Chain A
């Protein structure tokens, strides 16, 4: 269906090299999260007059790892360029970055990433510095002022630019998830840190104007922003005739893209070689040495899971979709070998719950060995699988590190008892029921009430399903 739109989506993904201890060109700490504004700064990253950049010695290694993981051609010599433009978050009003024309040589080019929906070609990978952060009173459009925090200015970024090979917003999101997993597996970027991976998207329909959408802060937002933008472009009368490029900003509160201003003129970045930095040679021996020490990548790990543990490709694929998930899988197997059981719990039940709720793996406080023990009990018929899954989900929901089993009586698993309990909870909480029609978070509240009422014995999956259906049916 999407094909007749002539849809072309490309992404520019900015990944912070969170593995580095300091910023790219100065010795300020690289992790600014939780700090007061403008405390993680020095004269270099704030662009004070007379200061000069010096390259972080660990940055090249991290970037080469990314290039190898994405199957790129690595340059034998790389250099830095200045991208000149004015903006309040850019201390020098130019960004030190890399370029692929005018004698510029970025760290790597021409790679690829395999996804289920097809191969995504990587155009180039470049090292560059992060700008500072802008915040507002209200939205970017309504705020009378802007507030600038330079804590993030100068942090090392690797920008990964794809060809417009992405076929749909969903595909874009899947690609980003895979990319994040790859970066976590090689240990250069912790995608769970706020702002560590951000992207801009380029969308065009019917071969028309290419629109750049900026300020997309999470992968969920990517899918939303692209869906919005495609709908917007489809409803525009002139989309087939328009030329050139437009930049729009994703407002994730109102969930719309907006033009920031009517373009007075064409921006011209006047790229030229950064005079204060020298070329860096990347020898074949250096790259070969790093290649030898490369850790296992998601695709390799997936194949190994399938081979070693005889689990399905789907389950294995879901497990390596997030490094931590795959790590938990392997840790738990060390304690008790139940790959089919543990694989499906992690890849289907737990992952499914996390995707529905606002929780992440970080909210899972129990240890892999506890999970393994549970699997052992189920295989030895000391516990039903439903109960096991139920207590696991509950532990994540409540953030507990131990499993709570129902103290009295068996689990409630029949539909009628659960329906009765749901009716009682609905009658007692009419406002929450109303809220739940538009806000999924209110369902969590109703679940909590139900578990209280049934003293935790209600089968979690069934209870949730029943509530959701009841809300949807409008009763």
Chain B
């Protein structure tokens, strides 16, 4: 089936050659047909979407249509959508209806996008395979026995299968890039601060960003343009609402750094081969390629998990069942018991584990050795990337060390899942932008190539991505 790009849909709706209502109904029909198998969606918001589409049609008559007019968009279920259930794939928020829209969601609606549903994730964003959702696992559309990646597995699978034109994901340690790589789509983690976190249900505040997932580079650039920019509701947001869609597909004089550490033992041969083939193609187009030694990257995983778990232990404290969400009804004797029972029943085991570890890392006597130490190591990583970008325009390597693993393969060994984040977490620690674009496949499973750049240089990343897309073509099954 031909999948329409968001760009084409928006143009068509603005011109009048595509009906917003018809296009959204078409996507709902695809969801009907395929999602029983893929399970990308937790909530499908058909009525409100059709209502939104009808309003778009009305606006067209007044010529007041935005950059995403009529574009169906799926939103990861840890991003607040007013009036639409938002669960974070957790029992503790089952039935929770946010009283406000996330800023990114509000901006998309202002541009005419139509929210068609909320997608599945690892509970509270904690995972790399979407298997830790409290409700069900999502399957990789390219091979149903394999994971779609995580934590934005639902969003990536929906886009890959054509169940939505584009989607919003969130990336704390690779959660946009990992599923994008595993599902063969384009995913962008923006510079920390570029996209407002207001309405992003927090897992790790200093690491996460909302970002676009799309089937091609121009759609990702369009979506990013619509959600970027300083928000007065988010004290950590900074940057302008730029237009990233003016892409320049040329690799001439581009200085590409290739970090040694991204190709170390543990990287699947097919993955490193595919990535190097793509790098060589860029060299053929005029880019200058050089290997670089990023020593501090070896410590990124430990630093990341300590910081993420510590912040999470505090961010998730609010889920006590008193003001919203799940409340135990067995008649707890006192408030402390009630809280403990609510959280016992409401949180999955992985979430409990991370809260416990984070509580430990912040506790008296351990703060210096863990949290403080991890933040100091983080500084070293930030500085190392700063030095790298003085020399290079972009850094390129694999997004993930392997292609999508099988369902159930990494859920037993506690460290195995964490280790798969080794290539993605450095960008979160440094707060730099990073994107994954498809660059090949192995045994039918997509391979993702990761492009990183200095803060606020999303433009460079998207240009390189577009160049590669022109050379390699958009990923097709």
Task: List A residues at the B interface (Cβ < 8 Å).
Answer: 43, 46-55, 82, 84, 86-88, 91-94, 102, 146, 148, 268, 270-272, 275-278
CB-CB under 8 A from A270, the residues of chain B are 313-314, 359, 362-364, 367
Q: Nearest CB to that of B325 among chain A residues?
A: A49
CB-CB under 8 A from B313, the residues of chain A are 84, 270
B96 interface contact, C-beta 8 A: yes
B269 interface contact, C-beta 8 A: no
Q: Are A88 and B364 in contact (CB under 8 A)?
A: no
CB-CB under 8 A from A47, the residues of chain B are 318, 323
Task: List B residues at the A interface (Cβ < 8 Å).
Answer: 79-80, 86, 88, 93, 96, 98-100, 102, 197-202, 205-206, 232-236, 310-311, 313-314, 317-318, 320, 322-324, 335-336, 339, 359, 362-364, 367, 371-372
Q: Are A102 and B234 in contact (CB under 8 A)?
A: no
Q: Are A84 and B335 in contact (CB under 8 A)?
A: no
Q: Which of A48, A50, A94, A277 has the most CB of B within 10 A?
A: A50
A203 to B102, CA, bound (A): 47
CB-CB under 8 A from B339, the residues of chain A are 86
Q: Are A50 and B235 in contact (CB under 8 A)?
A: no
A52 to B237, CA, bound (A): 11
Q: Are B317 and A52 in contact (CB under 8 A)?
A: no
Q: Are B235 and A55 in contact (CB under 8 A)?
A: yes
20 A-B pairs in the complex with CB atoms less than 8 angstroms apart: A43-B99, A49-B80, A49-B96, A49-B202, A49-B318, A50-B198, A50-B201, A50-B202, A52-B197, A54-B235, A84-B317, A92-B318, A93-B318, A94-B317, A270-B359, A270-B362, A272-B314, A272-B362, A276-B236, A278-B236
CB-CB under 8 A from A43, the residues of chain B are 98-100
Q: Are B314 and A94 in contact (CB under 8 A)?
A: yes
Q: Nearest CB to that of B335 among chain A residues?
A: A88
A51 to B233, CA, bound (A): 8
A102 to B372, CA, bound (A): 9
- Min Cβ gap B170→A in Å is 11
A-B contact count (CB 8 A): 97
A52 to B235, CA, bound (A): 8
- Min Cβ gap A147→B in Å is 12
For B317, give its contact among A53, A92, A275, A277 (CB under 8 Å).
Answer: A92
Q: Are A268 and B364 in contact (CB under 8 A)?
A: yes
A53 to B232, CA, bound (A): 10
Given contacts A50-B201, A52-B234, A52-B235, 19 further A-B contacts (CB under 8 A): A49-B202, A50-B197, A51-B100, A53-B235, A86-B336, A86-B339, A91-B323, A92-B318, A93-B317, A93-B318, A146-B335, A268-B364, A270-B313, A270-B314, A270-B367, A272-B371, A275-B311, A276-B236, A278-B236
Q: Are A52 and B362 in contact (CB under 8 A)?
A: no
- Min Cβ gap A43→B in Å is 5
Q: Nearest CB to that of A92 among chain B residues?
A: B318
CB-CB under 8 A from A86, the residues of chain B are 317, 320, 336, 339
For B98, give its contact among A50, A54, A87 (CB under 8 Å).
Answer: A50
A390 to B371, CA, bound (A): 68
A49 to B316, CA, bound (A): 9
Known contacts A146-B335, A148-B322, A270-B363; decide if A48 and B100 are in contact (CB<8 Å). yes
Q: Are A52 and B233 in contact (CB under 8 A)?
A: yes
A148 to B320, CA, bound (A): 14
Q: Are A82 and B372 in contact (CB under 8 A)?
A: no
- Min Cβ gap A258→B in Å is 15
CB-CB under 8 A from B201, the residues of chain A are 49-50
Q: Which of A49, A82, A86 has the most CB of B within 10 A?
A: A49
- Min Cβ gap B88→A in Å is 8
- Min Cβ gap B453→A in Å is 24
- Min Cβ gap B436→A in Å is 25
- Min Cβ gap B86→A in Å is 8
CB-CB under 8 A from A84, the residues of chain B are 313-314, 317, 362
CB-CB under 8 A from A51, the residues of chain B are 100, 198-199
A55 to B200, CA, bound (A): 19
Q: Nearest CB to that of A266 among chain B residues?
A: B364
A231 to B247, CA, bound (A): 78
CB-CB under 8 A from A48, the residues of chain B are 98-100, 323-324
Q: Are B236 and A272 in contact (CB under 8 A)?
A: no
- Min Cβ gap A276→B in Å is 6
A46 to B86, CA, bound (A): 17
Q: Are B359 and A91 in contact (CB under 8 A)?
A: no
For A54, give its contact among B205, B233, B317 (CB under 8 Å).
Answer: B233
CB-CB under 8 A from A278, the residues of chain B are 235-236
- Min Cβ gap A81→B in Å is 11
CB-CB under 8 A from B336, the residues of chain A are 86
The 7 residue pairs across chains A and B that have the minimum distance between CB atoms: A93-B317, A275-B205, A270-B362, A49-B201, A50-B199, A50-B201, A50-B80
